[in-house]
Amino acid sequence: MPAADVSSFFDAVDSFFSSLAAVHWGSLLIGLICFGIYLTLRSRAYFHALRAAYPIEHIQWRRIWGAYIAAYGFNNVVPARGGDVMKLFLVKTSVPNSTFSAIGSSFFVEAVYDASIGIPVLLFAFTQGVFPKPPDFAALDAFDLSFFASHARFTLFLITALAVLGLVGFALLSRRVVAFWARVRQGLTILFDRRRYLREVWLVQFAGWLFRFAAFWNLLEAFGIGGSVRNVLLVLGVNAVASIVPFTPGGAGVQQAFLVKVFAGAASGATVAAYSVGQQIAIATFSLALGFVALVAIFHFTSFRAVIEAGREARQAEAATS
C-alpha cells in the first residue's frame, strides 16, 4: 500500500482518538443496537432460505444466527471476506445432510436483495454531486480501489483470467457437473417461489435494512456529522462500493477515502476524518465481540482459527467422498 494511503488512514485514526471526548455516546450505543438488530434480521431471512432448501431437516435459528454474526465479525478484521469461509462451515454443520455446494449457493439469495436496494442507492449517491464518479476512483487515497481504477488493462486481464479459470475448472469437473448443479439449485430453492421469497426473505431483509438505516443515522449523529436521509443514503452508497472490492477488512480503506470525500463540506476536516474511521472501528469492535461470543457459546470454538481449520478439514473430507 502506498505510503500516502497509509498516512491518510492513520491520520484519520488519530483524529478519531483525539475526538473521543466529543462523541455522543448515547447515539453511538443506539446505533450499535440498531446494527445488531439489522444483522439479526438478516440472519432470519437467511434461515428462511435454508429452510426452503432443506424442508425436512430440523434447523435451529440460533445456530444460523451464530454463524452469521461470527462471519460478519471476522470479515471486519480479515481481508477478502475470509469470514464467508467460516460461515460456510458453521452453517453446513448446522444443517443436517447438507452439502458445501448447496450452502455456498444459498449465499446468493441474500445478494438478490442487496442488488435490488443497492443499485437505486448508488444511483441516488451519484446524483448528489459529492460522490466520486468511477473515473475519479484512481485519485482516491484507497489503494485497493485506486489501483484497479488506474490500471484498467490489468483489471480487464484479471477479470478475463478468472473467467477462463472458471471455464477450465468447469470442464475438469464435467463428470460431477450434473450433481454439482443440482446442489447449487437446491441452495437457491426459495428464489423459485416468488411469493415465499418476497414474504420470508425480501421483506425481512428490508426490515433489517431499515434498522441499518437507523444505525447509520445515529452514528452520523454520534460523530458530529449530522443524521439525515441524504447523509445516510450516501453512507449506504459508500458501503455498496466497498463491498465490491473487499481487499481490506470490511472495505476499510475504500470506506475511509470515500467518506472523507463525500462529507468534506458537512463538517470540519478533523470531524469528518474522525467519523470516517470511527464508524468502522465501532462496528468492527461491536460485531467482532458479538461474533466471538456466538462462536464460543453456540459452537464451542475458542478461536476463529480453530473454525477455519475445522472447515478446511470438513471440505477435504466431503471432496474425498464425492
The set of residues, in sequence order, having a beta carbon less than 8 Å from that of 63 and lying 6+ positions away, is 90, 94, 298, 299
Whether pLDDT at 56 is above 90: yes
- Per-residue pLDDT of 180-233, as tens digits, reads 778 889 999 999 999 999 999 999 999 999 999 999 999 999 999 999 999 999
The set of residues, in sequence order, having a beta carbon less than 8 Å from that of 222 and lying 6+ positions away, is 23, 24, 25, 27, 28, 31, 278
Predicted confidence band of residue 162 (pLDDT cuts 50, 70, 90):
low
Phi, psi for 168 (deg, rounded to 5): -65, -45
- H/E/C letters for each residue in 278-318? HHHHHHHHHHHHHHHHHHHHHHCCCCHHHHHHHHHHHHHHH
Least confident of 6-15, 31-40, 57-66, 243-252: 6-15
Kindly state the cell numbers that stand for 173: 469437473
- Per-residue pLDDT of 112-161, as tens digits, reads 999 999 999 999 999 998 888 776 665 565 545 555 545 556 556 666 76
- Per-residue pLDDT of 70-113, as tens digits, reads 999 998 888 767 888 899 999 999 999 999 889 999 999 999 99
Q: 169 burial class (0-12, 13-18, 19+ CB within 10 angstroms)?
A: exposed
pLDDT at 21: 59
Q: What is the DSSP letter of 202?
A: I
Predicted confidence band of residue 64 (pLDDT cuts 50, 70, 90):
very high
Q: 120 burial class (0-12, 13-18, 19+ CB within 10 angstroms)?
A: exposed
Averaged over 270-291, what is the pLDDT? 90
CA distances from 283 to 125, 127, 276, 321 (A): 22, 28, 12, 40
For residues 87 and 70, is the Cβ–Cβ distance under 8 A? yes
Least confident of 169-173, 255-259, 294-298: 169-173
Domain ranges of the chain: 3-55+75-321
Kindly state the cell numbers that stand for 262: 463525500
pLDDT at 141: 58
What does pLDDT average to over the chain?
A: 84
What is the Rg, in whole angstroms, of the alpha carbon atoms belonging to the chain? Answer: 20
pLDDT at 154: 57
pLDDT at 256: 83
Closest-CA residue to 28 (of 203, 220, 213, 251): 220
Q: 243 burial class (0-12, 13-18, 19+ CB within 10 angstroms)?
A: middle
For residues 203 and 20, is the Cβ–Cβ distance under 8 A? no
The C-alpha atoms of residue 280 and residue 32 are separated, in whole angstroms, by 11
